Structure 1
């Protein structure tokens, strides 16, 4: 038996505005609107689809699953996303790796890290 991630779905009160925001943020395109109830984005070739589903009562509190995004220019992308409506939650760091936690306009948290930030720590022999 083999599984693959086909789609990641986000619950929201208003799928179309949130899907439009993520399409612009990730350079994706809306491929299904389904009368605004279930909006689907296509991202890069071979990437899972990203969908936004209308629900009457989204789960309150911090989301339990989040997207980890990577980029060659973390600072520029974070600034771009904030200008587009994201909210900065915190700068995070651990030895050899840093990232920024943001929230989309609905409050769903996600992380942005540089593609080449992680370094293998030196070992003592």
Structure 2
């Protein structure tokens, strides 16, 4: 039996707005644009995307699952994401080599530093 990861579902107060933000942040394409489902992927026919769906309750605690990203230039990428509307987030991480940010609805994600050579 094979199991293939297709997408991550993101609960959202405004799926369209949050989906558009993540599409801009990641440089991904929109593959489904509706008020109740907004889906983005790296490319039109490539899976492992993000699907934004509406929920009525707001976010109240730290996410139990979050995304990590490893850019070529951490400092430049953090600045770019902040300019798009991300904000710094403190989830008790202390001083680390990564930067924890939150998207416009408060979902945490991390921007990692350079990969260490083995």
State the TM bucket, normalised to the shorter chain: 0.7 to 0.9
Runs in 1 of length 4+ with deviation above 4 angstroms? 44-47
Partner residue in 2 for 1:69:
69
Aligned length: 114
Indicate if the aligned counterparts of 1:10 and 1:52 stay in contact, CA closer than 8 A: yes
Match for 1:117 among 91, 115, 118?
115
Q: Which runs of 5+ in 2 are unaligned?
A: none
TM-score, structure 1 as length reference? 0.82
Please state which structure has a larger fraction of its residues in strand: 1
Partner residue in 2 for 1:99:
98
C-alpha RMSD over aligned residues: 1.9
Structure of greater relative contact order (alpha carbons < 8 Å, 6+ residues apart): 2
Residue range with higher mean Cα deviation, 65-74 or 40-49 = 40-49
Indicate if the aligned counterparts of 1:92 and 1:101 stay in contact, CA closer than 8 A: no
When Rg is computed on C-alpha atoms for both structures, the one with the higher figure is 1
Shift of 1:56: 1.4
Partner residue in 2 for 1:86:
86
Q: Which runs of 5+ in 1 are unaligned?
A: 121-125
